[in-house]
Structure 1
Amino acid sequence: MVKTIILCGGQGTRLREETEYRPKPMVEIGGKPILWHIMKLYAHHAFDDFILALGYRGHMIKEYFLQYRAMNSDFSIRVGSEHDIRFHDDENEEVFQATLAETGLHTMTGGRVLRAAKYVDDDTFMMTYGDGVADLNIADLMRFHKSHGKLATITTMRPMSRLGELEIDSNGIVNQFAEKPQSKAWASAGFFVLNRGVLDLIDGDDCVFEKEPLERLARDRQLCAYRHEGAFYAMDTYREFIFLNQLWDQGKAPWKVW
């Protein structure tokens, strides 16, 4: 079974309004943690075995899963000497398997991957961040990775510009204005597929995965890009938190493929 490492240990300082008292993966969209949305996406494509790399306020993620069934089901309870709980699960109950791994409060992204990898059994595993959602076909991503034979696959997308773009002629006249256009460049969306050989490029807790490991893979021509033309949203700011909740509440969340 291919496992997926989800990095859940960052402090989410740019979303301090929501992360002051809880880890970013537990910030909710539509009443469910964004971590749940990410896991639902993978599970929809039959990848339902996860390793959660914990750090900042990781105990809250542990508590969420320890209480998961009670918090997501109706149940009847008998209190007293014959204490008993009977759950009333519906047919849409999720089935996840998750290993919750403490990876250190100040460990960098590469170090978290390396620490979590002790629970990886196969030569191939997946990794992503605990704050981004997409309408990504995970099965197609895996097929792409297996087709090229390189050590790593990174999912890429065309980001939307945060600023309006203007086309200006030599006289200073604006010929065209585009509000937050889609960039022509490709950027990382996370959602990696990795072979175990990638772990040899991580030299400890202080290793930033997006620096030396990915740079080395690119130099060695061992990194392939899976081009995702669909939707991708990272929840980095309070404004993005509000936007993602609005999409969900309006029934317009493109990542809801299940």
Structure 2
Amino acid sequence: MKTIILCGGRGTRLGEHGTSVPKALIEIGGKPILWHLLKIYAHYGLKDFVLCLGFLGGHIKRHFIEHHWLDQDITLDMTSPHEYQIVKSNRSEDWRIAFVNTGLDTNTGGRVKRVMNFIGKDELFCVTYGDGLANVDIRKLIDFHRSHGKLATLTAVHPISNFGIMKLDSDGSVSKFQEKPQLKDWINGGFFVFDRRVFDYLDDNCILEREPLERLASERQLIAYQHTGFWKCMDTYKDNMEFNEIWNSSADWKVWQ
């Protein structure tokens, strides 16, 4: 089964980091957020990826190509052009990655539609955003999708509030104060599983979260996998700093060894 990663958007709220580096390459603990995401899926046996590239997509290609060589012990025979020999392979990842240019400003649904040919004949495929991490059990997610028979599954999560909340008594006294609690509402956290018939709901530049998901919902073909564990997305530089703090303490999304 293949996994589509949406990593073509602009990191407009990441300041200077989002203008010179694609958001997918912003680092957490010295590794791009995209690397962390691929490690999550690979842990559950999904190692065939399709990257939907857009803004600064060449940087993402270059990162993986260069690191493929930099991680090896090689010999170079300079008397014979381009004669390289790998002496020792130090790679720990056994991934297959398709890098697909899906347009500079293409919307999310359009990006998925444009990589349809890379899915092959698979009946199911996964899709997720390149800026969000979670400790979702991908195998349980896929099993859940297969159990209900609908065309689409999304992972529903409880977001963390951007602000602390207070409970006030009638006289204005603060009876409860909680800093940035987890909210009770559910939101779309990505980590989708789609039947290939979902491609029929997409066009070349649609917004996945608008017409396609709204139509699937109206036809009762969309269901939520309710995830109550860790989930966080990276929209701002502050989010990146928080991700690094979590990595250095609990690394909640690190499901691999």
TM bucket normalised to smaller: over 0.9
SS at match of 1:20: helix
Q: Give the whole-Å Cα distance in 2 for the aligned partners of 1:87 and 1:145.
A: 44
- Can you list the C-alpha shifts for 1:23-56, whole angstroms capped at 9, x where unaligned? 1101111111111110010000000101100000
TM-score (structure 2 length as normaliser): 0.94
State how 1:86-235 maps to structure 2 within 5 Å: 86-90=86-90, 93-121=92-120, 122-205=122-205, 207-235=206-234
Q: 1:87 to 1:212 in 2, by over 3 A?
A: farther
Which residue matches 1:257? 255
Are 1:53 and 1:101, in contact at CA under 8 Å, matched by a contact in 2? yes
Question: Deviation at 1:16?
Answer: 2.5
SS at match of 2:125: strand
Q: Give the whole-Å Cα distance in 2 for the aligned partners of 1:87 and 1:188.
A: 46
Are 1:53 and 1:103, in contact at CA under 8 Å, matched by a contact in 2? yes
Q: What is the identity, as a one-letter code, of the residue corresponding to 1:53?
A: C
SS at match of 1:67: helix
> In structure 2, which of residues 73, 78, 81 is the aligned counterpart of residue 80 of structure 1?
78
C-alpha root-mean-square deviation of aligned residues, in Å?
Answer: 1.4
Which residue matches 2:3? 4
Aligned pair count reads: 253
Q: Give the whole-Å Cα distance in 1 for the aligned partners of 2:173 and 2:101.
A: 57
Q: Give the whole-Å Cα distance in 2 for the aligned partners of 1:85 and 1:252.
A: 40
Which residue matches 2:241? 242
Q: What is the identity, as a one-letter code, of the residue corresponding to 2:75?
A: I
Residue identity (%): 47
Are 1:4 and 1:51, in contact at CA under 8 Å, matched by a contact in 2? yes
Are 2:159 and 2:232, in contact at CA under 8 Å, matched by a contact in 1? no
Are 2:53 and 2:103, in contact at CA under 8 Å, matched by a contact in 1? yes
Q: Give the whole-Å Cα distance in 1 for the aligned partners of 2:87 and 2:229.
A: 38
Q: 1:6 to 1:87 in 2, by over 3 A?
A: farther
Q: Give the whole-Å Cα distance in 1 for the aligned partners of 2:97 and 2:67.
A: 12
TM-score (structure 1 length as normaliser): 0.93
Q: Give the whole-Å Cα distance in 2 for the aligned partners of 1:87 and 1:241.
A: 37
Q: Give the whole-Å Cα distance in 1 for the aligned partners of 2:196 and 2:84.
A: 45
Are 1:17 and 1:238, in contact at CA under 8 Å, matched by a contact in 2? no
Question: Deviation at 1:101?
Answer: 0.7
Q: Which runs of 5+ in 1 are unaligned?
A: none
